[in-house]
Structure 1
Amino acid sequence: MSIAATPVPPYYAVIFTSLRHLQTGAADSSDAVADAGTRAATRSGSDDGYGAMAALMLDSAARQPGFLGVESAREEIGITVSYWDSLQAISNWKRDSEHQLAQQLGRSSWYSAYRVRICRVERDYGFARDAGGAADPGGESDERLSTPPG
């Protein structure tokens, strides 16, 4: 996984934070939208169908109009941030039939708790090293704003 390449703001972020059920053989945490399933299956040997559904959701989301990218991390909690070009695109994804099935399975089988937060990204900036390990000379001066400062 890498950091998502997003456009110049504004755009939208959906932040999905989850806690997995602690089940025998199940991974201790993750999230079903973006986890490709490899970490959960590797750590536990079994993921109760979670990894397959997560891979399906990532593939399905990537085909949705308005999808811009995704980033995911997990330890004791899972956090996935998906990026979208509009609130309408987010709403369409929420209503997608495969996604609705994953949501139902998440509530009944995989999660003890989750929270979804939706926000508008007004500015972003970053830092990166090139393939040889040298720092990007732009650093945080690579700031991108939805409205130029003035």
Structure 2
Amino acid sequence: MIAGFASTPAPPYWMVSFTSARTAVDGDAYAEAAARMLELASIQPGFLGAESVRDSAGLGITLSYWTDEAAIAAWRAHPEHAAVRARGRADWYEHFEVRVAKVERAYSGRADA
């Protein structure tokens, strides 16, 4: 597996897409919170993995993968995650979009193949 790619099982499974535009507010606290959320999500039942990127202009995309909708709902209800989401809305994001989808098909390969 290449670093940065989530290792997911054969479909079906679920994906949460979080796209955000960052503010300039408190980047260090944001980075700490993001790392903590990944650490915390990774021990939640049903978590399969995550992939995340952010460009120099502050646009970021995080994809998290879950076994089912119940696991996603439990993660959303987690108190520490809820507190960080509230802080994000108040301080860290100019705008964000959340999308939830069921992955029915997935494949991978190499660029030179």
Regarding TM over 0.5, the answer is yes
Q: Which residue of 1 aligns with 2:39?
A: 59
**2:75 match: secondary structure:** helix
2-side partners of 1:18 and 1:2: how far apart? Answer: 19
**2:5 match: secondary structure:** coil
Shift of 1:47: 1.4
Shift of 1:73: 1.1
**2:36 match: secondary structure:** helix
2-side partners of 1:2 and 1:111: how far apart? Answer: 23
Give the AA of the match of 1:15. Answer: S
CA root-mean-square deviation: 1.6
Please identify which structure carries the higher strand content. 2
Indicate whether 1:2 and 2:4 are aligned.
yes
Q: Which residue of 2 aligns with 1:33?
A: none
Q: Which residue of 1 aligns with 2:68?
A: 86
2-side partners of 1:126 and 1:66: how far apart? Answer: 22
- Flag the 1:5–1:48 CA change in 2: closer, same or farther, 3 A: closer
Q: How many residues align?
A: 109
% same residue = 44
Instruction: Say which one has the larger Rg.
Output: 1
Q: 1:104 aligns with which of 80, 83, 86?
A: 86
Give the AA of the match of 1:6. Answer: T
Unmatched 5+ stretches in structure 2: none
Indicate whether 1:114 and 2:89 are aligned.
no
> Structure 1: which 4+ aligned runs deviate by more than 6 Å?
none
